[in-house]
Structure 1
Amino acid sequence: MVENEVTAVREEETQKDKYLCFQLDDAEYALAIRHVVEIIGIQRITTIPDVPPYIRGVINLRGKIIPVIDVRMRFQLDERDYDDRTCIIVVSINDKSVGLIVDTVNEVLNIPPAQIQDPPKIKKGSQNRFIAGLARVGDSVKIIINMEKFLFEEEMEGINKKEAVLS
């Protein structure tokens, strides 16, 4: 193995079973840390026309235009004013950077697969596709987000087209 491959394997091993936990209302969510690029405070968001309402717009992060999604709105929760605890989690999904607006970021946890179970099959629908599993952590349950399915493909294509226009 070349040095870059060894470094990538070591990095993947250190991120294995690690999740960034965040909160929306009283529910606790988690996403695989391997997707997280950085966490930033809420900042000025430039709205763009003709996108779904949960796509709040774009931000300029050190010269890079990044679309921003309000996770509350994506999950069809009530809107809430942003405050000093509101964060943008910048993630990379399929080599595409996206900002996720959440109420607050809590912690990074190690959640082994033995603590994760499949989500209940309550109904068929778009919301269930976002859930990769439910993790038992102490007395609480963390809802693990499936980042690969977080956006519909056509929405990512729409974001790409809007970014191309703005570039």
Structure 2
Amino acid sequence: MTGKKSIALRKDGPSAKMMEICSVHVGSTLFGVPITHILEIVGNTHPHAVPLAPVFVGGLLHYRGEVLTTVSMRQLLGLPATEGRQDIMVLENKGSCFGLLVDSVGEVLTISAADREPNPSILDTRRQEIFAGACKLPQGLLIMLDPERLDPMRLGAAA
């Protein structure tokens, strides 16, 4: 992570709830993950391919004595694979861990919950399942990701 940036876009009184998210880039899109689910950022690591695995599996990673399944955001979004450097966010969800393979990890942003919008109704079902709404930023939209929706066990059951 390159730093922490505070963005307070709209305040609906003193009780406006603020949340911290870590921004990540996949292709030309900016996504955000709540920092409460992030255990670690592992940079420039290449997971080991898994033959016959579902398409969303980015591979397996040796992580602190465990074997960690990674989920490829590029594959989930139908984007072509990249040969360049990618980062892995180690996420925790209900006691289990998995990796989220992204193009790059950005900065931690503090945003107002009032600036979070639900998914639009016209969004296709596949993306409704993995997106958790959007946040309005001065430079555009940040698509929110919910680690529960990205858990490999849940994705596997949905496939």
2:14 alignment partner in structure 1: none
Aligned partners of 2:92 and 2:147 also within 8 Å:
no
Q: Which structure shows the bigger proportion of residues in strand conformation?
A: 2
Task: Return the letter of the residue paired with 1:74.
Answer: L
1:106 aligns with 2:106: yes
1:153 alignment partner in structure 2: 154
Alignment of 1:111-150 (within 5 A): 111-150=111-150
What TM-score, normalized to structure 2?
0.79
1:37 alignment partner in structure 2: 39
Give secondary structure in 2 for the equivalent of 1:59: strand
Alignment of 1:81-100 (within 5 A): 81-83=83-85, 86-100=86-100
Distance, in Å, in 1 between the alignment partners of 2:55 and 2:38 is: 23
Question: How far does residue 57 in structure 1 lie from its aligned partner after superposition?
Answer: 1.9
Question: How far does residue 139 in structure 1 lie from its aligned partner after superposition?
Answer: 2.6
Q: Which structure shows the bigger proportion of residues in helix conformation?
A: 1
Give secondary structure in 2 for the equivalent of 1:126: helix
Distance, in Å, in 2 between the alignment partners of 1:148 and 1:61 is: 20
Task: Return the letter of the residue paired with 1:127.
Answer: R
1:74 aligns with 2:76: yes
Task: Return the letter of the residue paired with 2:154.
Answer: E
Distance, in Å, in 2 between the alignment partners of 1:23 and 1:59 is: 21
Alignment of 1:40-51 (within 5 A): 40-51=42-53
Question: How far does residue 124 in structure 1 lie from its aligned partner after superposition?
Answer: 4.6
Aligned partners of 1:68 and 1:100 also within 8 Å:
yes
What TM-score, normalized to structure 1?
0.76
Larger Rg: 1
Higher relative contact order (CA 8 A, sep 6+): 2
Structure 2's unaligned 5+ residue stretches are 1-17
Compute the RMSD of aligned alpha carbons: 2.2
Cα distance change of structure 1 residues 19 and 155 upon mapping to structure 2, 3 Å threshold: same
Deviations 1:16-48 (A, max 9, x none): 611010001111000111110000113242222
Question: How far does residue 123 in structure 1 lie from its aligned partner after superposition?
Answer: 4.3
